[in-house]
A and B are shown apart, each in its own frame.
Chain A
Amino acid sequence: MPEGLRDMLRVARRVVRQTLRDPRFLVLSLVVPVLLVLLLKGIFEGVPAFRALRVPIDDYALPAGGFMVFFLAYILSTLVLVRERRDGTLGRMLAVGYSRGAITVGFVLGYGALALVQTALVVGATSWLFGIDLGPRLLPVSLTTFALSMVSIAMGVFVSAAARTEGQVFPTVPLLIVPTLLLCGLVLPLDQLPAYLRVIAHLLPPTYAENVLLGLMHRGHAFADELPSFLALLGFGVALVAAASVSVRTRE
């Protein structure tokens, strides 16, 4: 096996071990998305004003769950590199010869393992809570949610590679999350947006994921119909990992 690939796996394994040794982090990152979905159900089924809207909430539950995963994965992963830089472990990794590519891809793989469990929990819990029978849609829905989670991890690593302190990272959270929530198609249909906002929406990777999820769950499309959006999501993922890798400074 090439040394670079081995290094990536070493970083990924270390990240997974670290996560497993931190039960609070683990529980929070796995339970919070499910709790948020539960909150959504409580609001849409329990508040008369929302009930009167007759939103087909079952159609939106999984796309909303996907958004929660995106939101959490982004926040958790943005702190990763900043913390490593602050503690000196990033410098130490570079000093012993880990390449920035191995470090970035290793992070994405390691936290991706967590994202896999997160996806399974969110998709499983949401379908069960809302009584949704996914049938053949189970695999594409899970795959898309997982891909979205990986993309947000890559986004987080990219942002934290450029930041020096937690203080610089936090303002990016609302800056990214609020426009994404409004523009990704979950709250407002894309075709009702003014042209310039549609352009911005298409620069945000979650838009593509939500397009797939809403296509499958709400519009009754097949996965094949949504394949271009899915591939665009993957493309964003690859580009973000590459950008994150390049933005890690090897010498300050």
Chain B
Amino acid sequence: MDALVRARGLGRAFGRVRALQQVDLDLRPGEIVGLVGPSGAGKTTLVRTLALLQHPDEGTLELFGRAVRPANLGELRRRIGYMPQSYALYEELSARTNVAFFGRGVSAQRVDRLLAFLGLSERADSAVATMSGGMKQRVSLACALAAEPQLLLLDEPTAGIDPVLRGRFWHEFRRLRDDGASLLVSTHQIDEAVHCDRLLIVRAGRRIADLTPEALLRRAGTTVHVEYADGTSEQRRFEADDAGLLDWLRGLDRDRVRRIDVRNDTLESLIVDLMTTAAEAPDA
């Protein structure tokens, strides 16, 4: 099926700061793409650009197979669910009123179902101002989901919430994907990468990788650190499935070795490596 989002060479500068540079992205129906990068990498600028709240200085953007133009902004936006990084809710109003308002006329039953699903039924009529941060985050998600959008752009939806709620959010994201929606989920919490079908890793406004977690894990290697009785040490790195690892270990002089530390790369450590060292895009 055609991509819901097709971005080519997106760029955006704020004064002298180039927040986005030459970013390409395809988002296909039924996938969760994790937008991963350190703070200031350009994640929010990219999400806001795709949510049609910011215009790119350069590059082309197609949503739902159509080029974005001033004339079709409203129509395209109605098919997008956007969850900003801040709560962006009317604090004086209830959760129910907020969801109904941002749902632009969705049925009362739909609002009730959403609030129930996110565990907010009991507080549905409380003013948002009286809620905890986690609850506000859930109300904010409900607002993004209200109109049953095909494309969900979620800007750090799990920032600042407890691990249990994070788990529930990701469970919900997978359910939405299984129902056919596409999600772009930005995060700087690298452990969340495991939940994604694909990872778009960005740094300093540039895309440095676009690959599946499995493809990244295939690059996982093992680092062995050996300490000797005489106080010296050595470190060796072996690529995945490198038979040399065992031979090397067997070849060590057992009488001299005081301690061996074997560390396998994890998805998280691979991403950190990419974010800190990669210069060019090693796309899968």
User: Known contacts being A89-B90, A97-B74, is A7 close to B53, with CB within 8 Å?
Assistant: no
With contacts A95-B80, A96-B102, A251-B73 known, is A88 near B86, CB below 8 A? yes
Q: Are A10 and B104 closer than 8 Å at their CB atoms?
A: yes
Q: Which of A16-24, A64-72, A111-119 contacts B (4 or more CB under 8 A)?
A: A16-24
CB-CB under 8 A from B74, the residues of chain A are 97, 99
Chain A, 51-100, CB within 8 A of any chain B CB: 87-89, 91-99
Q: How far is the CB of A162 from chain B (nearest CB, A)?
A: 18
Asked if A14 is at the interface (CB within 8 A of a chain B CB), the reply is yes
B104 & A14 in contact (Cβ 8 Å cutoff): no
Q: Which of A7, A97, A252 has the most CB of B within 10 A?
A: A97
Cα of A7 to Cα of B74 in the assembled complex, Å: 12
Consensus secondary structure, chain B interface: loop
A164 at the interface (CB under 8 A from B): no
A95 CA / B92 CA spacing, docked (Å): 21
User: Whole-angstrom distance between the alpha carbons of A157 and B53 in the complex?
Assistant: 20
B88 at the interface (CB under 8 A from A): yes
Q: Are B101 and A14 in contact (CB under 8 A)?
A: yes
Docked complex Cα distance between A234 and B157 (Å): 46
Residues of A within 8 A of B87 (CB): 88
Question: Chain B CB within 10 Å — which of A10, A17, A95, A99 has the most?
Answer: A95
Say whether B127 faces chain A, with CB atoms less than 8 Å apart.
Answer: yes
B267 at the interface (CB under 8 A from A): no
Which residues of chain B are within 8 angstroms of A88 by Cβ–Cβ distance?
A: 84, 86-88
On whether A251 and B54 interact (CB within 8 A), knowing A14-B93, A21-B127, A97-B77, the answer reads: yes
**Contact of A6 with B by CB under 8 A:** yes
Whole-angstrom CA separation of A98 from B146 in the bound complex:
14
| Smallest CB gap from A4: residue in B | B74
CB distance from B62 to the nearest CB of A (A): 16
Docked Cα-Cα span, A7 to B86, in Å, equals 24
B52, CB-defined interface residue at 8 Å: yes
A17 to B: closest C-beta gap in Å: 6
| CB <8 Å contact, A17 and B89 | no
Given contacts A21-B127, A87-B86, contact A95 B93 (CB under 8 A): no
* Chain B neighbourhood of A21, CB < 8 A: 92-93, 127
Which of A89, A96, A97 lies in contact with B89, CB distance below 8 A? A89
Q: Is the CB of B97 within 8 A of A14?
A: yes
Q: Is A250 an interface residue (CB 8 A)?
A: yes
Indicate whether A251 sits within 8 Å of B97 (C-beta atoms), given known contacts A92-B84, A97-B77, A97-B104: no
**Residue among B52, B89, B93 making CB contact with A251, cutoff 8 Å:** B52
Report the bound CA distance from A18 to B77 in whole Å: 25
Query: How far apart are the CA atoms of A17 and B127 in the complex, in Å?
Result: 12
How far apart are the CA atoms of A88 and B103 in the complex, in Å? 16
Distance in angstroms between the alpha carbons of A94 and B86 in the assembled complex:
15
Name 14 A/B residue pairs within 8 A (Cβ), A-sorted. A10-B105, A14-B93, A17-B93, A89-B88, A92-B82, A94-B77, A95-B82, A95-B84, A96-B147, A97-B77, A250-B70, A251-B55, A251-B73, A252-B55
Using CB atoms and an 8 Å cutoff, list the residues of chain A in contact with chain B.
Answer: 6-7, 10, 14, 17-18, 21-22, 87-89, 91-99, 250-252
Report, nearest first, the 10 A-B pairs whose CB atoms are least far apart: A88-B88, A97-B78, A21-B92, A95-B82, A251-B55, A88-B86, A97-B77, A92-B88, A88-B84, A14-B101
